[in-house]
Chain A
Amino acid sequence: MQKGINNLIEKFGASDLVERRSGLSFITVDQTKAVAAITHLKDIDGYTVLSFITAADWIEDGKMQLTYMLNNPAEVAEIAIRVMLERKKEAGESMETIHHLWPNAKKWQQELKEMYGVDFPTSPGVNDSFILEGWDDMPPNRRDFDTKQYAEDTFFPRGGRVTHDPATYMREQLDPKDPQYYTKKKKKDINS
């Protein structure tokens, strides 16, 4: 087991350990203990590099997962800290900032605020727009944002395109009179 994991489990009550391969582990830490755990990993266990912070939206489970990827260059080991936030319907989950540990964390936090709506109060410039400009819809990376629908409504693709499903089209051609006689819908109608 790679360095630091025992500590995480014992001191910070981490759970759901997945050892993906040698030198890469995923582990869940409670939201309240996450920053302490990360600080511990950085200061004591040598995980001195923050590879990235990102999120994954588990809308079905009502969870917003934050992933902190920490790298220990000396041991060639990586730990991903998962933090499961309660997902809110209209964005606005909140998490403590870690920009005091790594200066560039503020950019990821700014990005998460913009793209996922996860707030990091006290992170500098977290409310500034980072990638998007003049965005007035829900944070686009949230799972319930339908990018295709948005694109079709906003950017109106070139029209005049139709396509045919081979099975339907063939049935229409081979059985031109009543190609749909077998379909479920019609039979249900009859049944009712």
Chain B
Amino acid sequence: MNEDRSLYPEHDENGKPIIDLESHKFLKLWQGPQHPGITGNMSLELTVSGDEIVESKTHVGYLHRGFEKLLERRLFVQCMPTSIRLCVAEPDPNEYIVSTAVEELGGIEIPDNAKWLRMLSLEMARLQVLLRGVPGQAGTFALGLGYQWGNYLRDLILDSFEELTGGRVYHMYIIPGGVRGNLPEGFKGRMLEKLKLIDEFVVKIDKLIFQNVVFESRAKGLGHIPKEWVDKYGVYGPAARASGVMRDVRKTNPYLNYDQLDFEPHVTTEGDVYARSVVRYNDLQMTVDMIRQILDKMPDGGDIRAQTPNVLHWKIPKGETYVKCESSRGEYGMYFVTDGSDKPRRAHLKGPSYTHANALLDKLLINANIADTAAIMVSLATCPPEIER
């Protein structure tokens, strides 16, 4: 980590590496889109010298569907099924931000019970992401065992989602006005059983991953993000918290009933891949605890949806807003403009991956080993569909 790498390649006066592909000292290496070591369908154009990356460029657009354009020709309620597909791994924050933007501009106040149910589904979504993401970090170093266990538990959480929302991956649970169902019978009990399994899992992956000398040696010092970069490059969520900056929308701008929960996001200062996975690991435990609190505090039934105007021709007066929530990757926001018609004028998704995967990743990958690209990407939790939308 500490060797002097400044000699090779040489840099010009602007600090750009001088790369002459004809010299055969450098090799252009495409990582993706068809590549097992990439987080989704995107690609990195790497220029490598030996195993070392001297230049990196992120290419996206392989998943571009033109969401923002499509939303402009959908009714407000029709935005829901479309917009939840913005991020596949964790669709619930999409549901939340679009619904909330519509409610805010349309002047709808949702019932308290629906707020708790929304929180439950958001936290369950975070849990299922982290169950994959925390051991997935070790998976990028080919320690797939924790990933296998985590995925099994994730499937259990998806089963709960199926019971609660009727969907396995795309839940379509939060819609403008409220949610689409109360807790099914016996849901709490089953959920608590599953949380117990996750508690065991948390101990197991601690032993397997965080008490693992090889993982530690590879992850420590890798992909270091200094504190100053957090604002400069737009680092959010767990990645920012690993660099010693508190970034958690749930804490800083509490929404729904998050102010009624007792939680303290983990903050550490190392700023490397190891620190980010530790922060995620703590998030995982915190999420389990928060789901317990939510199940404990939420009312037994009640109204699930406020009456909205007829959704088939719901017109919302002209206005604009920016609604955000905390996804497992960080601040996740929706800039929403209405123009008095029954369709949005503009919907712009702002996901943390946009900043993480573009300028920041290009910067972090320089002088990294090819073998570490996947680890750095996973530690930033880049999710291509939210970059290109």
Tell whether any CB of A sits under 8 Å from a CB of B in the complex. yes
On A, residues with C-beta under 8 Å from B are 18, 20-21, 23-24, 26, 48-52, 54-58, 67, 69, 73, 76, 78, 80, 102-104, 106-107, 129-133, 140-141, 143, 145, 147-148
Question: Which residues of A are found within 8 Å of B320, using beta-carbon distances?
Answer: 18, 20, 26, 56, 67, 80
Give Cα distance in the complex from A187 to B192, angstroms. 69
| B313 interface residue per 8 A CB criterion | no
Assess the A132–B64 pair: CB atoms within 8 A.
Answer: yes
**Number of interchain pairs (Cβ within 8 Å):** 93
Question: Which residues of B are found within 8 Å of A58, using beta-carbon distances?
Answer: 345
CB distance from A65 to the nearest CB of B (A): 8
Also in contact, A104 and B321, with CB within 8 A (given A67-B335, A73-B252): no
| B234 interface residue per 8 A CB criterion | yes
Assess the B321–A54 pair: CB atoms within 8 A.
Answer: no
CB distance from A128 to the nearest CB of B (A): 9
Assess the A130–B252 pair: CB atoms within 8 A.
Answer: no
Assess the B354–A54 pair: CB atoms within 8 A.
Answer: no
| B194 interface residue per 8 A CB criterion | no
Partner of A69, one of B60, B72, B322: B322
Assess the A48–B73 pair: CB atoms within 8 A.
Answer: no
Assess the A140–B66 pair: CB atoms within 8 A.
Answer: yes
Partner of A52, one of B247, B319, B337, B350: B350
| B39 interface residue per 8 A CB criterion | no
Assess the B60–A130 pair: CB atoms within 8 A.
Answer: yes
Question: Which residues of A are found within 8 Å of B72, using beta-carbon distances?
Answer: 143
Assess the A107–B61 pair: CB atoms within 8 A.
Answer: no
Question: Which residues of B are found within 8 Å of A67, using beta-carbon distances?
Answer: 320, 335, 348
Give Cα distance in the complex from A73 to B236, angstroms. 11
CB distance from A126 to the nearest CB of B (A): 14
Assess the B359–A107 pair: CB atoms within 8 A.
Answer: yes
Question: Which residues of A are found within 8 Å of B388, using beta-carbon distances?
Answer: 131
Also in contact, A56 and B64, with CB within 8 A (given A102-B232, A104-B358, A147-B69): no
Partner of A73, one of B61, B69, B231: B231
Assess the B335–A147 pair: CB atoms within 8 A.
Answer: no
Also in contact, A50 and B234, with CB within 8 A (given A24-B321, A69-B335, A107-B354): yes
Question: Which residues of A are found within 8 Å of B354, using beta-carbon distances?
Answer: 52, 104, 107
- In B303-357, the 8 Å CB interface with A consists of 319-322, 331, 333, 335, 337, 345-346, 348, 350, 354-355
Also in contact, A131 and B64, with CB within 8 A (given A23-B253, A104-B358, A147-B69): yes
Question: Which residues of A are found within 8 Å of B69, using beta-carbon distances?
Answer: 140-141, 145, 147
